[in-house]
Structure 1
Amino acid sequence: MRAFLRLIRWPNLIFIFLTQLLFEYCIILPAFNQAHTVPNLGGVYIFLLALSSMLVAAGGNIINDYFDVNIDQINKPEKIIIGKYIHRHWAILFHTLFSGFGIALGFWIDYKAHTYLLGFTNFLCVTLLFIYSMVLKRKPLSGNVVIALLTAWTVLVVTFGESSQLIKLGNAINASKITRLTLLYAGFAFIISLVREMVKDMEDIGGDSRYNCRTFPILFGLNAAKIYSATWLIILIVLLCIMPFYVLQYGWWVSALYCILFILAPSIKILNRLFKASTSKQFHALSSAIKWVMFSGILSMIFLLLKK
């Protein structure tokens, strides 16, 4: 069971679950409550959406490890699950079941909650994760962009599920504010995920190069990969520098302090550590630090609820 939980990367699944519930309860639901109307994903349906997202992600994690067994024997032999604890045939079965249930649950939510195309988008996510694991992960940038888009979709899908209500009610529920906050958090997730995926490519350069992968660091070198990551980090830091000044206009001192201490300052520290990193262990530590910044960014939604 411990090996299986490691295979599906349970902390990442909890992260998806929290992200979607926080966005619904801190941003979507308060706006709908003010308009005295009920969102599509109210009640149990937001939990079912989060569950379907977790199932799709779990299936993607399994198939990713399935195709990476040989590479992982070099990059992280101590973390190999498939072939060591779980047979390859079982891995394929688990991937199929998780992905299938995730897609089916999306279609069921469409039917019951009057949302549009959640089942289809779940199917598209499963397809992209499969193609990423089989092909795109070994290509420069394309795989990174796919994962960054899917990470951003974790936020976007919640608003997407409410799209029929947002179009119907418009200004009555302040749809423009919901849209701005959706793009803000989705953009944050996209940029920081781009950085993390490149750092992971630098971490895995040893095994990737041995099996003829053509990732960005292998084709253009570590320095070019660091410059690419630093560029996105600088863009993120500039945007994060603006945020405290924006929220201070509303007297949200605690929110501004939180942004500075737990998102902006760690991002600057990561930028500084990026150019000093040279070993797989150092890049792994950077990847973990970036994940914590992402987590801190998502938790900032709580302040939007507190200010209602």
Structure 2
Amino acid sequence: MPFLKLIRYQNLVMIALMQLLFHYGFLKQQPGLIPALSDFQYLLLIIATICIAAGGFVINNIMDQETDRIAKPNNLVVGKFISEAAAYNIYIGCNIIGVGIGFYLSNLIGKAGFSALFIIIAATLYLYATSLKQSLLIGNIIVALLLSVSVIIIGIFDLYPIINETNQAQLSVLFRILLDYAVFAFMINFIRELVKDIEDMDGDYNAGMNTLPIAIGKARAAKVAFALAFIPIASLLYYINQNLLGLQFVLFYLLLFVIGPLLYFLIKIWGAKNKAEFHHLSLVLKLVLLFGILSIGVITFNMHYHA
């Protein structure tokens, strides 16, 4: 259990679930489309992604020991259950596996330069944990980008290698859909990171961090999160109006499981004051992310059987 907490397995499960859904529940359901990666190769891509993400969570836990002792003593793993030396070994092992698989897959599809993407992600996560996290909003942006990149990388490895003059129009539409989901994931993750900063404000302050609630105060930071939450709501309503009005099942699903919880978040964040309330709101946004990811399967099913 300490090891699972160290690598934050819930987040890794979400990344893996998302990549499985987009490959099997979306791309492989498109008529006449054969993705570039075989099932085994795609499994390797998932392993590479979650290994690098796990490495990022491990180094973050190593660097967050002092903060967690104050803000989240129950979540403290490094130094309590797992030694710092062992945690560093796990971090190195995760990155070696992730980058190694990434290098193998990049050469397999004839795009050796793509391996640099895995190295850049691993290096960025290290810089985030060791220095960038202390910079105002930069750390939030980097963490928010992690899930987004996990979506975009599907298009890079599954679609880009098979583009030709015949299928370019079709694949560009599919890649644009992946990009839409990546943008949505970024918006929700960014707001969630702000809420988590408010929740962890005391520990971050004692650790010398420079988060938004420390810079402008907890109440004002909550109002910023409130204002930002209007962006994904407005974007979703516009997207539904432009693309999904003919899909009744999808429409009800998004209103009930994505927009509904976002409206609930808006109502609750305005008056939230204590740590428990902000923790609850962070979980609400995590559910929004989960149901948002699941919607790709709902859309594909509705288009195939009820459109």
Fold shared per TM-score above 0.5: yes
Q: Does 1:259 align with 2:254?
A: yes
Question: 2:271 aligns to what SS in structure 1?
Answer: coil
Question: 2:272 aligns to what SS in structure 1?
Answer: coil
Q: Is the 8 A contact 1:29 1:42 kept in 2?
A: no
**Structure 1 range deviating more: 103-112 or 237-246:** 237-246
Deviation for aligned residue 1:248:
4.8
Q: Distance in 2 between matches of 1:29 and 1:91?
A: 38
Q: Deviations over 1:140-189 (max 9, x none)?
A: 10001111122210100100113533542464560231122112100100
Alignment match, 1:211: 207
TM-score with structure 1 setting the length: 0.93
TM-score with structure 2 setting the length: 0.93
**Structure 1 range deviating more: 219-228 or 119-128:** 219-228
Alignment match, 1:129: 125
Q: 1:34 pairs with 32, 35, 40, which one?
A: 32
Q: Is the 8 A contact 1:243 1:256 kept in 2?
A: no
Q: Distance in 2 between matches of 1:164 and 1:61?
A: 29
Q: Is the 8 A contact 1:138 1:215 kept in 2?
A: yes
Q: Which runs of 5+ in 1 are unaligned?
A: none
Q: Which runs of 5+ in 2 are unaligned?
A: none
Q: Distance in 1 between matches of 2:133 and 2:147?
A: 15
Q: Is the 8 A contact 1:152 1:189 kept in 2?
A: yes
Aligned AA for 1:287? S
**Structure 1 range deviating more: 216-225 or 255-264:** 216-225
Question: 1:44 aligns to what SS in structure 2?
Answer: helix
Q: Distance in 2 between matches of 1:147 and 1:170?
A: 37
Q: Distance in 2 between matches of 1:224 and 1:116?
A: 47
Aligned AA for 1:42? S
Q: Deviations over 1:267-294 (max 9, x none)?
A: 0101111121111111111111100100
Q: Is the 8 A contact 2:52 2:98 kept in 1?
A: yes
Deviation for aligned residue 1:110:
1.2
Q: 1:273 pairs with 253, 268, 273, which one?
A: 268
Identity of aligned residues (%): 30
Q: Deviations over 1:245-276 (max 9, x none)?
A: 345543x1111000000000100101111121
Q: Is the 8 A contact 2:109 2:161 kept in 1?
A: no
Deviation for aligned residue 1:138:
1.7
Q: Is the 8 A contact 1:45 1:113 kept in 2?
A: no
Deviation for aligned residue 1:202:
0.5
Q: Distance in 2 between matches of 1:117 and 1:26?
A: 28
Q: Deviations over 1:66-124 (max 9, x none)?
A: 00001100001011111111010000000000011100010111122335544211111
Aligned AA for 2:175? T
Q: Does 1:232 align with 2:231?
A: no
Q: Distance in 1 between matches of 2:167 and 2:241?
A: 26
**Alignment map for 1:73-152 (pairs within 5 Å):** 73-115=69-111, 117-152=113-148
Alignment match, 1:196: 192
**Structure 1 range deviating more: 39-48 or 9-18:** 39-48
Alignment match, 1:16: 15
Question: 2:26 aligns to what SS in structure 1?
Answer: helix
**Alignment map for 1:171-190 (pairs within 5 Å):** 171=167, 174-190=170-186
Q: Is the 8 A contact 1:248 1:256 kept in 2?
A: yes
Q: Distance in 1 between matches of 2:131 and 2:191?
A: 20
Q: Distance in 1 between matches of 2:52 and 2:18?
A: 15
Aligned AA for 1:25? Y
Q: Are the structure 2 counterparts of residues 26 and 183 from structure 1 closer, same or farther at C-alpha, using a change threshold of 3 Å?
A: same
